[in-house]
Structure 1
């Protein structure tokens, strides 16, 4: 969907600005739904919430081609349906992230390895998704390509329900459920007062601000201007391949390399790699640089995921992860909206320079903030609770 929607808007309007507005419509509701949905994950259960979110997201995406075939779709209706789908994505993201320690307990494996594998699996989806999207867009068009997204959401819900373990909380019965708004506030307060979590959220906010437009605006516009919009999917797929390699690589070196140094080196190399995209629009260069960028950025998500999981009480995991996700994404609509005019009036090269500089700013913040100075296993105030996992 992230590939098909901007291409669809560009085909119908020719405007990178509107493509950015549609991308913002997909991100803005996600910010709030992650924040308020995390408390629902803690209330109703991680696995149940993940399954429900995927099914509802599938329905929202399916509405786009169905309405286009019947009533017709204008940009306002596209914006509304994209926003509706994003409402369900927030709780789903929080639930899936919160499930990883449950899987680690079931498999009796370290969190670093589970998170590196988890990011690698996400990357496989990143390879298959954009690559398949590129082929389908060329054959059946961007609107019909959305049916592939519907199928993937449905299969994800089935897989989660049948494979991921349900969890019995430590101590037997589930703790008493506090009022909903109180639980939302507790998640916010916990994240903001815990230094490492606050720093993780703010670092993520800086990165997301500059990277959000990459796949939704900048790369599609670059390929569209070159007359080869279908190549967007292939570049993004190669980026995902690199991410898989980098994530798995972190799982291998996690026992030997300190988390802080891995995080800072990954952020620095990622910044330099994105600056390289401004040098040439040659397709071979873009593919090679996308692979390198994916590899060097691959460890970032596993490191930050482990930090979140080790510093959060088990009963608060959903709302804390949801809050961090929300704070990290808070600037994403701004990034998407601003990127459109930059690309349209200054070109993609300028946009890539801004991305690289923005990632350098995130690197400097991560290096200087006290919150990320002690993120090794021995520094964690909470290890994920040992749970009895039932099938």
Structure 2
């Protein structure tokens, strides 16, 4: 990437990137509702609706493992644009099949898997561009990452609502036209602006060797290794509570509206927390913000164990969403400061791959422990485990040097 010291400040690349993130993320949020809804219309089988979402996990994991090599070889901007184009095509397949009168459950499954292949590639490519657009816009990394996480959270907050409106207006099948158009607009936004990203990189190394380099960089950089592992474990537990245990609790009480309000409080506070970190993050010690975010994730399960008050539970969800929102921006900044520019895509793909691999384990563990021990015991052990993760973060020496590190150098990859 060219030096921007003598280049006029330009925030258009950052604005274009965040607009693309909002649009594509909203499309993903729409798909999360429209896919199972469409499957229920076709099959009237709840198990089939769950399966169409679950089968996407494996291609997402595989794509996240390989996406970094594609990004580092083809270039970040080109990869982002290409992934959005293919995502648009995969979304358009469903209404096309519907218009042709051949839409069936296996074809919905095929389109879902196809979309799951390209989505992690686009997400990783946009994340890899953040330090480039920050430098061009002369913006602090904390601010850029805080805004980016807030935009991503906002997209997932409004996506399900947009899905409900689209399904009501045009039906589940035709709602995928809006997703296809959104991904196409996202591709145009990124392609139309001159992104200050490095060009495509020639390499004679085997792709497996290049992928291993990314993992070596992740594992051999103490601060990066610690923030990645700790955040993955904490969010594995937190998302299992929010995505599995609480729905079971409120389904058995037949209170879906109360559960919806809790989710909105958690997600809305998360967006606000990310924006606050974006504004103040450069003045807040990173280690304190990171460890606090880990510890507060234990608040939700433990409050549900010890308090039956819905008001207390609602406050706990909002506080957890607000304070845990700093965890991902801190992790992003650590990657951006300590990973050599030419390896950023591969390291980010390794970080995402760990998450894609860990989260289903947490969901499964939550489901089985509810079946064996009940909801209260499951909440208790998950809250306790989260506190142990936070305690690990508090004492590990790897986080003591978490503050500003300066630009990464290539030797980091070979330690």
Task: Give the TM interval when normalised to the shorter protein.
Answer: 0.7 to 0.9
Match of 2:386 among 338, 345, 359: 359
Structure 2 matches for 1:282-321, cutoff 5 A? 288-321=315-348
Further displaced range: 357-366 or 30-39: 357-366
Cross-structure match for 2:161: 131
Contact conserved, 1:126 with 1:236, CA < 8 A, in 2?
Answer: no
Further displaced range: 259-268 or 332-341: 332-341
Matched, 1:210 2:237: yes
Cross-structure match for 1:84: 114
Cross-structure match for 1:99: 129
Displacement of 1:195: 1.6
Contact conserved, 2:244 with 2:363, CA < 8 A, in 1?
Answer: yes
Displacement of 1:259: 0.5
Cross-structure match for 2:359: 332
Alpha-carbon distance in 1 for matches of 2:276, 2:290: 13
> What SS class does the counterpart of residue 291 from structure 1 fall into?
helix
> What SS class does the counterpart of residue 52 from structure 1 fall into?
helix
Cross-structure match for 1:268: 295
TM-score (norm 2): 0.76
User: What whole-Å deviation, never above 9, does each CA across 1:52-101 have from its counterpart, x for those lacking one?
Assistant: 11221232233345446633433x55444323222112211210111000
Matched, 1:73 2:104: yes
Displacement of 1:323: 1.3
Cross-structure match for 2:203: 177
> What SS class does the counterpart of residue 382 from structure 1 fall into?
coil
Further displaced range: 56-65 or 342-351: 342-351
Contact conserved, 1:133 with 1:233, CA < 8 A, in 2?
Answer: no
Alpha-carbon distance in 1 for matches of 2:274, 2:125: 20
Displacement of 1:369: 3.4
Alpha-carbon distance in 1 for matches of 2:342, 2:175: 39
Structure 2 matches for 1:1-391, cutoff 5 A? 1-6=31-36, 12-15=44-47, 21-67=51-97, 70-74=101-105, 78-136=108-166, 144-163=174-193, 165-168=195-198, 176-179=202-205, 180-213=207-240, 236-276=263-303, 288-340=315-367, 353=380, 355-378=382-405, 382=408
Further displaced range: 189-198 or 177-186: 177-186
TM-score (norm 1): 0.80
Q: Which runs of 5+ in 2 are unaligned?
A: 1-30, 411-415
Distance 1:175 1:22, change over 3 A: closer
Displacement of 1:314: 0.7
User: What whole-Å deviation, never above 9, does each CA across 1:174-202 have from its counterpart, x for those lacking one?
Assistant: 66423233221211221121122222332
Alpha-carbon distance in 2 for matches of 1:142, 1:353: 39
> What SS class does the counterpart of residue 375 from structure 1 fall into?
coil
Displacement of 1:51: 1.3
Distance 1:371 1:294, change over 3 A: same
> What SS class does the counterpart of residue 401 from structure 2 fall into?
coil
Cross-structure match for 2:413: none
> What SS class does the counterpart of residue 297 from structure 2 fall into?
helix
Alpha-carbon distance in 2 for matches of 1:42, 1:322: 11
Distance 1:61 1:310, change over 3 A: same
Alpha-carbon distance in 2 for matches of 1:349, 1:63: 43
Alpha-carbon distance in 2 for matches of 1:354, 1:146: 40
Contact conserved, 2:73 with 2:201, CA < 8 A, in 1?
Answer: no
Displacement of 1:133: 3.0
> What SS class does the counterpart of residue 326 from structure 1 fall into?
helix
Distance 1:207 1:217, change over 3 A: same
Alpha-carbon distance in 1 for matches of 2:40, 2:201: 50
Alpha-carbon distance in 2 for matches of 1:85, 1:30: 9
